[in-house]
Each structure stands twice: as structure tokens, then as C-alpha cells.
């Protein structure tokens, strides 16, 4: 059975995007953190996105600029198997991407039952909240950035029931980021 992970950056006040939907505040050019993300990208697995995050990722990682700035991460992102959940997207054009348009909770249940590598959701607050509410996410990797946005979007908007988690790990980076990892209590 596959595991489903979330890897998201949030502000100190809990937002994964600011009030205008911008996430650029989360991307710092820091050698230690860049090395961490390059190693993470090599671990494989299926990348899972909602349409907005898919469009952002597809607009950057296949470009020459991404390959020059972050060659290892770009290679991993472009070669990885990807799933995008979207009712509005007509087709997925990024290499190795499968589009799922309907019944996303049931489709994710089916995907989790298959053998294979884990799956990681990046960004995609709408599907994070839906999969959280359905109890489908096994682990949350939350990168806390030392910034207060004041307002924005939380990745848990719409979650109605309490979700109990156990902290399994944390790591601090010189740039001020803190990675906290939590497992779902079952």
C-alpha cells in the first residue's frame, strides 16, 4: 500500500499562500536548503498536484531557467510520474502526467491501495484539505518560514473534524526555516 505525504511551506502564522496567492516568499536561495531539496527530489515517488500548483510547476520546471538554476531538482521534477486533479484542465501537457477530473477522494483511495512508491502533494491546498478530511494523508512535512503574512490561505481550509498527529521529526536550517514532520494518528 502506498503512502501519501504532503510537503508544503507555510508562514509562521500558518498560510501557504499570501492573500494574493503568491508563494514566492517561501523560496530562498540558500545552499543548505537547496542541497536538501535536491536530495528530496532524488527520492522518487509520484508528485500530486491540484490545477493551480500544477500550472505553476509546469510553467517553471520544464524551462531552461529551471535547469540552469536547479539542475538536479529540475531533472527529478521533469522525470517524475505526476498526477494532477482538476475539473477544469482539459489535458496535462507536462511529461509523465496523468489527469484525474472526477471523484478525487475515491481515486486517491484506489491509488493508495496499489503497490509502488509513495505519493507527495506539493502546494495544492484544496486537495490537501479534502484528503485530510478523508483521512488519506499519512504524513505532513511542513516547512515553517520565518515570515508573518497577516492573511492568506491555509492548506486546511474546510477541514471540519479534528485530526490528531504525532511529530516524528524536525530539522532547522540556517536560513531560519524549520521542517516539522507529523504522522497521522490512526
C-beta of residue 130 within 8 angstroms of C-beta of residue 10: no
Give percent of the chain above pLDDT 90: 74
The cell 524551462 sits on which residue?
63
- pLDDT for 43 equals 67
pLDDT 10s digits, 40-77? 766 668 999 999 999 999 999 999 999 998 888 888 88
CATH superfamily of this structure's domain 4-184: Dihydrofolate Reductase, subunit A (3.40.430.10)
- pLDDT for 27 equals 76
CB atoms within 10 A of CB 173: 14
Residue-range domain boundaries for the chain: 4-184
Mean pLDDT within 87-102: 95
Residue 127 exposed, middle or buried by CB count within 10 Å (0-12, 13-18, 19+): buried
- pLDDT for 155 equals 92
How far apart, in whole angstroms, are the C-alpha atoms of residue 27 and residue 67? 16
Per-residue pLDDT band at 1 (split at 50, 70, 90): confident
Mean of per-residue pLDDT scores for the chain: 91
- Is the pLDDT score of 24 beyond 70? yes
pLDDT 10s digits, 130-170? 999 999 999 999 999 999 999 999 999 999 999 999 999 99
Q: Which alpha helices (DSSP H) does 18-154 contain, by range?
A: 31-41, 51-60, 64-69, 71-79, 104-113, 125-133
- Is the pLDDT score of 38 beyond 80? no
Residue predicted with more confidence, 37 or 141: 141
- pLDDT for 41 equals 63
Burial readout 145-171 (b: 16 or more C-beta within 10 A, e: otherwise): bebebeebbbbeeeeeeeeeeeeeeee
DSSP code for 113? H
- Is the pLDDT score of 89 beyond 70? yes
- pLDDT for 186 equals 83
Residue predicted with more confidence, 165 or 122: 165
- pLDDT for 42 equals 63
Torsion of CA 75, 77, 80, 85, to 10 degrees: -160
Helix (H, G, I), strand (E, B) or coil at 118: coil
C-beta of residue 157 within 8 angstroms of C-beta of residue 125: yes
Listed in sequence order, the residues at least 6 apart from 155 whose beta carbon sits closer than 8 Å to its beta carbon are 6, 8, 10, 16, 125, 128, 129
Amino acid at each position: 500500500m502506498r503512502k501519501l505525504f504532503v510537503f508544503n511551506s507555510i508562514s509562521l502564522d500558518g498560510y501557504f499562500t499570501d492573500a494574493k496567492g503568491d508563494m514566492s516568499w517561501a523560496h530562498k536561495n540558500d545552499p543548505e536548503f537547496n542541497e536538501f531539496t535536491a536530495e528530496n527530489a532524488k527520492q522518487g515517488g509520484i508528485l500530486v498536484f491540484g490545477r493551480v500548483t500544477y500550472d505553476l510547476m509546469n510553467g517553471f520546471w520544464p524551462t531552461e531557467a529551471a535547469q540552469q538554476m536547479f539542475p538536479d531538482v529540475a531533472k527529478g521534477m521533469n522525470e517524475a510520474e505526476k498526477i494532477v486533479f482538476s475539473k477544469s484542465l482539459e489535458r496535462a501537457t507536462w511529461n509523465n502526467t496523468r489527469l484525474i477530473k472526477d471523484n478525487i477522494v475515491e481515486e486517491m483511495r484506489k491509488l493508495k491501495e496499489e503497490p509502488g512508491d509513495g505519493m507527495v502533494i506539493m502546494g495544492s491546498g484544496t486537495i490537501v484539505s479534502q484528503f485530510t478530511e478523508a483521512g488519506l494523508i499519512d504524513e505532513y512535512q511542513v516547512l515553517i518560514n520565518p515570515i508573518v503574512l497577516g492573511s492568506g490561505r491555509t492548506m486546511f481550509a474546510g477541514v471540519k473534524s479534528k485530526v490528531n498527529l504525532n511529530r516524528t521529526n524536525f530539522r532547522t536550517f540556517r536560513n531560519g526555516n524549520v521542517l516539522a514532520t507529523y504522522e497521522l494518528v490512526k
